[in-house]
Structures are given as C-alpha cells and as structure tokens.
Amino acid sequence: MLWKLKDCGHSILITDGEEHGKLGARHLKKSNKKLFNELNKHCFMIEFDWISTDCCLFNQVDNTEKFKNYIEKSTGFIDSKLRGSTDLQILCRRICGVNLGVGYFRQHTNGKVLSLSRWEKTYEKISEFFKSRKSAFAQNFYRRTPA
C-alpha cells in the first residue's frame, strides 16, 4: 500500500515492531525527538493496519470528533467503535490519527489473511482522498501551532 502511495505528495513513515510493543514507534520517539516533533506538526496521521474494510480505529486526542466526522464523510470509512493498541498511540501526541481497514483478517494468528479485493478497495478510497483533498484538512479544518 505504501509503495503504491509513495508519489501521493504526502509524508510516509514506516515503523516496525507494532505487534511486539510498538517497538519502532517507541524507538523513534525516544531516539529522534526532532523527527517525532516534526511528525506532530502534520495535521493528522493515517495508519494502514486494521481489520476488515470500510472501518477504522481513531486515536483519541483533541479534535478527535471533528476529525472522525471529516474522515467518515471524506472517505466512507466508519468508526469501528473498537479501541486497540497501535503505533498511533505513541506517535500522535498533538494530532489526530486513524488506522484504516485494509482487508486484514484473523490477525495475530497463524491463519492471518489479507483479502486483495478489500485491500484494493482501501487503496482506491485513500488514493481518491489524497487526490481530491490534498490539503483540505490543513487549510479548511483547523491549524495546529507548531510546538
């Protein structure tokens, strides 16, 4: 997904070790304060690692309800109402984050499955979102003052 989105005009961060205590996100926060602070100057973060398709998990920070409404209206993803443990809990200190469904099922088992048709659906939705709303959230929704 990230490789296909590499030319979308947005920042991309890849972390490792989420399933083992969010190790990559924790390491980044601890060892590279400059990058960590730069990440939190963005308007929001998107993570691709959630079950199903059409549903998502929101990180709880200020403006989460406004951000939730914006994402649901703009992408068609809906809040799963579940709460889970993601890298966003470490990385999003001042900004909102959303973990989008990519068609991943039976997670945390030896029988995990990725549905390629659902993965494609997520890719199409987010590609359209990036194209049509390149900076809409930043320009029209709210601005954060840099730390």
How far apart are alpha carbons 31 and 37 in whole angstroms?
A: 12
- Residue found by looking up tokens 């809990």 in the block: 89
pTM of the model: 0.84
What is the reported pLDDT for 31? 96
pLDDT at 69 over 60: yes
Report which residue type is found at 79: D
140/115 Cα distance (integer angstroms): 35
pLDDT band at 24 (very low <50, low <70, confident <90, very high): very high
Q: Can you give the pLDDT at residue 18?
A: 85
In 2-141, the DSSP E strands lie at 44-51, 55-58, 78-79, 96-105, 113-114
| pLDDT at residue 110 is higher than 60 | yes
Can you give the pLDDT at residue 144?
A: 46
CA distance 9 to 16: 23
Closest CA to 54 of 109, 10, 104, 1: 104
Give mean pLDDT, residues 109-133: 88
Mean pLDDT of 125-145: 64
